[in-house]
Amino acid sequence: MDLPRLCRLLGSPELAWLLDRARRRLEDGHTLDGTVTLAGASEPQRAAVARLLGRPARPGRSLSVSLAAVDAVLRDSGASPDGLAAAVTALTGPVVDRRAEQAASAAAWQRALAEFDRPAVTGHPELAAWRAGLSATGLLKRLSGGDPATARRLAADTVRVLARLPAEGLTLPVLAARSLGDAHALDHGRPLSALALSAVRALSPGADFPNGAEGRRAAWASAGVALDELSSRVLVLNLPALPTGPAGRLLAAAREDGEPCLLTLRQLTRYSPAFDFDGRAVHICENPAILAAAADTYGPDCPPMVCVEGTPSVAARVLLTALAAAGSPLAYHGDFDWGGVRIATAVLRLPGATPWRYDTPSYLAAVRDGHGTPLTTGSPAPTPWDPALSPALAEHALRVEEERLLDLLLADLG
């Protein structure tokens, strides 16, 4: 290549547009044939094309140039024996085939998404929409900074986490350490934490998790994972624990005075209390006001109670599972709304668990007594312990808060 001659022929500012058009064609994977046109060409641009092609300048507002003619001039002159494509590279730098590059990028993103085609994801039908949405919403691209290699690592790590769920009684750092070998891998603010949490939320379709830290806590709790072993807690009253170990002594002391007591996940897992129920049922409520009123009314004589305080914490799930395993009958009551239905579904799956005024007749009686308010949030969910309850809720579209039935519940406890 005769670079000085090539610069004189094709490297002038007046022919920059011609070089640019040729380069774009190469980047798009096209051959350099056909004609390129410049609308509103200036006189210097017309003159430069005329000199290049050895022809008189033509009048008109637009300027058309045959790329094949330019290629022939460059080859014949010896300025670029390999033609126009080689000249474009010499004058403007290496040309990347954007079409091939886009195809390679698309293939890399498909490999990243294929990491989700594993049993930890495909085995959960509720994750199908989440999996499809990763492409539609661009979540994976945003979290990976647009890098498919990073996206693939995030996807693989998320699948490793999902493969260990549900994980009853684990804390988030322990889950991260066991899944990924790094106790901080799921710390809030990390891309992996955001991606894994989005999957955990999708595992509970219809659940109304709040925003912020409380929503993260509730979402992970729904998969049996606590953010830490101290903040995950459960409210109890008069549980008949044997006074052995820290948790047992704490429960026994609180029971003497009939006072509510908070147990942390740490106390329940490190110092598991032993219970002696003598066949008595543990009454489970959703709202702390019910348990507080029971303590005020009956004190030490109140039957044992557990309050889940909305979506059961990991501590509550661990305790209720232990109570069921100990052979204690469990009786659940909660708000008559879609959130309450989902909580009830989780609790009533436990062995020996039955509804406590949480059925269709109780709901309809509360509605007739004027206790209902418009049910405007949440999405319908089945009620397998009483199939008629879900249609009744949907038909009346009224929620009945647990506190509205306090007198009835207290009478039962008495």
What CATH number does residue 241 fall under?
A: 3.40.1360.10
The residue among 226, 260, 280 that closes a domain is 226
319 & 205 share domain: no
The pLDDT, as a whole number, for residue 394 is 96
88 & 159 share domain: no
316 & 409 share domain: yes
Residue 223 CB-density burial (10 A; 0-12 exposed, 13-18 middle, 19+ buried): buried
pLDDT by 10s per residue, the chain, length 414: 899 999 999 999 999 999 999 999 988 888 898 999 999 899 999 999 999 998 888 777 889 999 999 999 999 999 999 999 999 999 999 988 788 888 888 899 999 999 999 999 999 999 999 999 988 888 999 999 999 999 999 999 999 999 999 987 889 999 999 999 999 999 999 999 999 999 999 998 878 888 888 889 999 998 999 998 898 999 999 999 999 889 999 999 999 999 999 999 999 988 889 888 777 899 999 999 999 999 999 999 999 999 999 889 999 999 999 999 888 999 999 999 999 999 999 999 999 999 999 999 999 999 999 999 999 988 899 999 999 999 999 999 999 999 999 999 999 999
The residue among 96, 116, 132 that closes a domain is 96
259 & 328 share domain: yes
Distance of alpha carbon 10 from the chain centroid: 55
Q: What is the 3-state secondary structure (H, E, C) of the chain?
A: CCHHHHHHHHCCHHHHHHHHHHHHHHHCCCCCCCEEEECCCCHHHHHHHHHHHCCCCCCCCCEEEEHHHHHHHHHHHCCCCCCHHHHHHHHHCCCCCHHHHHHHHHHHHHHHHHCCCCHHHHCCHHHHHHHHHHHHCCHHHHHCCCCHHHHHHHHHHHHHHHCCCCCCCEEHHHHHHHHHCCCCCCCCCCHHHHHHHHHHHHCCCCCCCCCHHHHHHHHHHHCCEECCCCCCEEEEECCCECCCHHHHHHHHHHHHHCCCEEEEHHHHHHCCCCECCCCCCEEEECCHHHHHHHHHHHHHHCCCEEECCCCCCHHHHHHHHHHHHCCCCEEECCCECHHHHHHHHHHCCCCCEEECCCCHHHHHHHHHCCCCEECCCCCCCCCCCCCCHHHHHHHHCEEECHHHHHHHHHHHHC
274 & 201 share domain: no
The residue among 96, 121, 143 that closes a domain is 96
206 & 239 share domain: no
58 & 156 share domain: no
349 & 396 share domain: yes
210 & 337 share domain: no
213 & 359 share domain: no
How many structural domains compose the chain? 3
92 & 115 share domain: no
Q: For residue 361, what are the domain limits?
A: 233-413
44 & 11 share domain: yes
